[in-house]
Structure 1
Amino acid sequence: MDPLLILLFVVLFSLSAFFSGTELALMSLATHKIDSLVKEGRFGAKSLKKVREDSDKLLITILIGNNLVNTFTASLATTIAISIARNSGMGLTEATAVGISTGVITFLLLLFGEIIPKSIAIKNATSIALFVAPIYKVLIYVLYPLILIIGFIVKIFSKKGHVETMSEEEIESFIDMGRDKGGIDDDEHEKIKSILDFDDTTVEEVMTPRVKIDALDIDTTIQEAMDFYLSHTHSRIPVFTGTIDKIDYYVTGRDIIRELSYGNKDKKLSEIKLKKVLKVPLTQSIQKLFETLQGAHRTMSIIIDEYGGVSGLVTMEDIIEQVFGEIRDETDKESEEFIKNGKNSFIVQSDVLIEEVLYKFDLDLEHIGLDEKEFDGETISYVITHILEGFPSNGEVITFDVKREEDSQDIEEILTFKILDIDNAKIGKIDVTISKKEILD
């Protein structure tokens, strides 16, 4: 065979590999990755950004080049095959020779023009894309009239309107992949996931529950309000009328200090100008509440249930902490939910979930005879008041019989809840202790 023909085949296969491989390298890079390369000042980054700004023109250019090369390669192989059939004296018909050449060329194009170059490109996408981007910038300029014609024809036949976008689930999958590959640390991963869940998280999930709201009666005096303000360090304090379920106003620390400076220490809150509270339903998303608070220039809202009763309170800080984690300042006090108080005893805050308490003793609701459907997700203080059918007294003890199996033996134990303190008609700390009763045969 003529050495020039062999050289021509090598060139054509190389061009086929070039177009196939560079297509994958150029189209696989994400936009944010390209922007990052531009910021780093990498060679070819600006050209890469330019050609990717109109990916349709880039793709048409690649397809023009690839199809022209592959078509020319197949035509040249067919011409050579017919020539061999006529002059070889081997008795091959032209059809047989063309069939053999088509099979051989197809295999070679598939292997050297598609599989191998794309395998290389996927592993070196960034470096290849940066290198070839300036070349494609020139090719797009040279082929521009033809690209315009083909692009116009494509638009006629392509559907208009809907553009497929990435779903939230796909974005979360990419974020999880980034964490697994080490590109995103755990803290960043949690923050991004929290932002994605922003519109799905309801105020009920982040609110301070009703039983933990620090509020003032509307008949409280300014001096009493000042004492309360100094001991609780809240900048805004809800004000209720008669019952905590009727919170219509709030007072600020500045209001209290101003009235006190006027010598109005005996004046009641009902006698000064209070600010109206913002009320929202339990089911509202924190994203909607965030926008509402911003628009109303407020930082606090009262959460109401379907009957209009108060369920809790949400501040702007609660919403921000949902995304960025706990924000602590000099007024925040460290509090431990569980304090070890001996081998089988803990001092527990009353707002801890009952399941979390039982978990410390390897127990569940069934072990102490409580219905899971009724008490799942409830606090230990709720369980106590429900069992007693009323409010406990300081020092009162509630006991539960515990039955479980341990080392193939049936163990009977006693779990006790002892009320350690009651503050402002609220249960404070509780001593939770478990002790063995006896071994049953």
Structure 2
Amino acid sequence: MSDDLPLGLMLGLLFVLVCLSAFFSSSETGMMSINRYRLNHQAASGDRSARRVVELLKRPDRLLGVILIGNNLINNLAASIATILAIHFFGDVSGPAIATLSLTIVVLIFGEVTPKTYAAIRPDRIAIPASLVLAPLLKVFYPLVWLVNAISNSLLRALGVKQLNADKDNLTRDELRSVVHEAGSLIPTRHQAMLLSILDLENVTVNDIMVPRHEIVGLDLEDDLETLLGQIRQSQHNRLPIYKGDVNNVLGILHLRNASRFLTKPDLNKAAIVQEAREPYFIPESTPLHTQLLNFQQQKRRIGVVVDEYGDVQGLATLEDILEEIVGEFTTDVADTHRDIHPQTDGAYIIDGTANIRDLNKALGWQLPTDGPKTLNGLILEHLESFPDAPACLQIGPTRLEILEMRDNLITSVRCWHQNVRRLSGE
């Protein structure tokens, strides 16, 4: 009986050691696999367990040091006990070999693969409880951990690794885009689209979203007073640019809420209209949308005149235009929103040549190139490299285009087909 008792104790101790090996192995994987962003959010919300894990992860070299020291001590002790047991049962010759093979299989399955796999799948369930043990262990074994890390860090510095603290979890724009995509049902589809649109603002300039020059609705001071008043009363826009003769000569921007100040004057004249206008705010056409959004906020503006490098007016950009890039069109009137697009019964579309390419891509789900000309007319002329003498056809990617009408060197009407035909939303 006295001989059996130590044997039973050793078998029990070996079982405990394998369990401890599983603990350290799963702790290593769980700590390194835990979602840092969720963890930081929980810590900022006052979760003490999350704060404890965050503190441990600030120095991964020390954390890994205490885990590996513990794991190696446990495995070496388990190997010694397994060898003693194997010699007892199988003799001095074959016992060590059997112990090595048996313990390798047991530790590999129960002390490494299984716990690490579980920890990789459920890191929160492992890392947070494990921190209760690892934090005090780090204090107990700190001298040994410090010595091991001092040697290890010296070798890392010799290899060119200077930063030994955990890097901040900064994400690039593409990585953040992947995070949004992979969020799945955790973020509603509509919200995902808005977040991705915000990330795209830097890649889009005001030239891409502006109202082009030929579509600007404004007040020309060379018109008679009655014409100007008629435009003011019937305008569908809240703000109107005021210019004289040519849109390049912009004198100001009139907010229609100020129109009541001069409409009731008995001696109304054009000077009174200009007096109520605010000085124009000019925007370089290459300004990225994310920059212009901040500029609108800082300047307390909602509309700006877009100019090119020569100072010539190219169009108008509004705060609403930028917001629509993020949240989509405000209007629900499809006919008004896509007034340049005319669906046909055969699945084709008759499109105005002045239609904006980005608007076409968003409305129809196409992939026409947007890194060059901004309008369909410009895109066709760029591909043809000349003005066609007669109606012509061409293909850009999966989109086929047929010129239907030209006027004054401007393509005014185009018939388009696409391999992946998609109807406008709301039809």
**What is residue 136 of structure 1 aligned with on the other side?**
131
1:328 aligns with 2:316: no
**What is residue 3 of structure 1 aligned with on the other side?**
8
**What is residue 50 of structure 1 aligned with on the other side?**
52
1:245 aligns with 2:242: no
1:294 aligns with 2:297: yes
1:38-437 residue pairs with structure 2 within 5 A?
Answer: 46-56=48-58, 60=62, 63-78=65-80, 81=83, 90=91, 92=93, 101-102=99-100, 104-126=102-124, 128-129=125-126, 133-134=128-129, 136-137=131-132, 139-141=134-136, 143-144=138-139, 146-147=141-142, 150=145, 154=149, 159-160=162-163, 163=167, 165-179=170-184, 182-220=185-223, 223-268=226-271, 272=275, 274-328=277-331, 333=336, 336-339=339-342, 348-349=351-352, 351-352=354-355, 378-380=375-377, 400=391, 416-417=404-405
The alpha-carbon deviation at position 336 of structure 1 amounts to 3.6
**Preserved contact between residue 226 and residue 256 of structure 1 (Cα < 8 Å):** no
CA pair 65-272 structure 1, distance change in 2 beyond 3 A:
closer
The alpha-carbon deviation at position 314 of structure 1 amounts to 0.8
**Preserved contact between residue 208 and residue 358 of structure 2 (Cα < 8 Å):** no
AA aligned to 1:208 is V
**What is residue 28 of structure 1 aligned with on the other side?**
33
CA pair 53-35 structure 1, distance change in 2 beyond 3 A:
same
The alpha-carbon deviation at position 233 of structure 1 amounts to 2.2
Give the Cα–Cα distance (whole angstroms) in 2 for the partners of residues 83 and 175 of structure 1.
Answer: 55
CA pair 88-282 structure 1, distance change in 2 beyond 3 A:
same
Per-residue Cα deviation, 1:155-176 (whole angstroms, up to 9, x for no partner) = 8757349936322222222222
**Preserved contact between residue 345 and residue 433 of structure 1 (Cα < 8 Å):** yes
CA pair 184-234 structure 1, distance change in 2 beyond 3 A:
same
CA pair 376-257 structure 1, distance change in 2 beyond 3 A:
same
* DSSP 3-state at the match of 1:265: coil
CA pair 222-350 structure 1, distance change in 2 beyond 3 A:
farther
Bigger shift: residues 96-105 or 237-246: 96-105
The alpha-carbon deviation at position 198 of structure 1 amounts to 2.1
Give the Cα–Cα distance (whole angstroms) in 2 for the partners of residues 101 and 317 of structure 1.
Answer: 75
Give the Cα–Cα distance (whole angstroms) in 1 for the partners of residues 75 and 345 of structure 2.
Answer: 85
Bigger shift: residues 265-274 or 232-241: 265-274
Give the Cα–Cα distance (whole angstroms) in 1 for the partners of residues 90 and 98 of structure 2.
Answer: 16
Give the Cα–Cα distance (whole angstroms) in 2 for the partners of residues 142 and 14 of structure 1.
Answer: 17
The alpha-carbon deviation at position 322 of structure 1 amounts to 1.0
Give the Cα–Cα distance (whole angstroms) in 2 for the partners of residues 213 and 67 of structure 1.
Answer: 73
CA pair 433-81 structure 1, distance change in 2 beyond 3 A:
closer
CA pair 47-354 structure 1, distance change in 2 beyond 3 A:
closer
Per-residue Cα deviation, 1:286-343 (whole angstroms, up to 9, x for no partner) = 111112121111111111112221112111111111111112399x955543345777
> How high is the sequence identity, in percent, across the aligned residues?
21
* DSSP 3-state at the match of 1:247: strand
**Preserved contact between residue 12 and residue 69 of structure 1 (Cα < 8 Å):** no
* DSSP 3-state at the match of 1:276: coil
The alpha-carbon deviation at position 259 of structure 1 amounts to 1.2
Aligned length: 381
* DSSP 3-state at the match of 1:50: helix
Give the Cα–Cα distance (whole angstroms) in 1 for the partners of residues 14 and 59 of structure 2.
Answer: 28
5+ long unaligned stretches in structure 1: 358-364, 366-371, 391-397, 405-413, 420-424, 435-441
Give the Cα–Cα distance (whole angstroms) in 2 for the partners of residues 382 and 71 of structure 1.
Answer: 70
The alpha-carbon deviation at position 118 of structure 1 amounts to 1.3
* DSSP 3-state at the match of 1:199: helix
5+ long unaligned stretches in structure 2: 361-367, 396-401, 418-427
* DSSP 3-state at the match of 2:310: coil
Compute the RMSD of aligned alpha carbons. Answer: 4.7
The alpha-carbon deviation at position 196 of structure 1 amounts to 1.4
**What is residue 369 of structure 1 aligned with on the other side?**
none
